[in-house]
Amino acid sequence: MTKKISLLAVSACAIVAAGAGAATIKLAPSAGPFTGTTSQHHPLSFTVAPTRNRIPGEKTKLEFKCPDGSAGGFTVSHGVPVRVRNGAFSGTVKGSSSKGHPYTMHLVGRFSSRTRASGTISLTITYPDSGACTSGVVSWSAKHR
């Protein structure tokens, strides 16, 4: 069985700011679009706000597997809005899919330079007939274009 979900809007979110260690160098990323790929071989994109301290959300697709053996894909259209602090960001969003299935998505990232970033993203979505389906931890990398 294949499931396909489209995330059209994020109605509820909990943003968790990334903690900065004492040795962290302050790094403000370049404003504008970043593009890259995930370890699942899907495109990923996000835009750094002109203030260079905010990412309103990202776009990608996450594949997931369920305990009952089914699998599917989750299209992320708006993603997790995060604040960038000292070159790092982290956030979690909880909501419901367009069909009312609860999900949690978590994003972590760090800018290694003003024009390059990498991190991880994960998704758990629960279906009444399949249980808690998960993408696992999916790595990603992107560069400013």
The tens place of each residue's pLDDT in the chain, 145 residues long, gives: 444 443 332 322 322 333 334 344 578 899 999 999 999 999 999 999 999 999 998 999 999 999 999 999 999 988 889 999 999 999 999 999 888 999 999 999 999 999 999 999 999 999 999 999 999 999 999 999 9
111 vs 145: CA distance, rounded Å: 14
Q: What is the predicted pLDDT for the residue at 25?
A: 54
Q: What is the value of pTM for the model shown?
A: 0.80
Following CA atoms 117, 122, 123, 124 in sequence, which dihedral angle do they give, to the nearest 10 degrees? Answer: -160
CA distances from 15 to 22, 54, 58, 104, 130 (A): 22, 12, 14, 12, 28
Place of tokens 């302050």: 26
| Through-space distance between the first and last CA atoms of the chain, rounded to whole angstroms | 38
Q: What is the predicted pLDDT for the residue at 38?
A: 98
Per the structure block, which two tokens stand in for 132? 């808690």
CA distances from 36 to 16, 33, 43, 100 (A): 23, 10, 6, 30
124 vs 136: CA distance, rounded Å: 8
Q: What is the predicted pLDDT for the residue at 19?
A: 39
Q: What is the predicted pLDDT for the residue at 77?
A: 85
Q: What is the predicted pLDDT for the residue at 10?
A: 31
Contact between residue 111 and residue 55 where contact means Cβ atoms under 8 Å apart: no
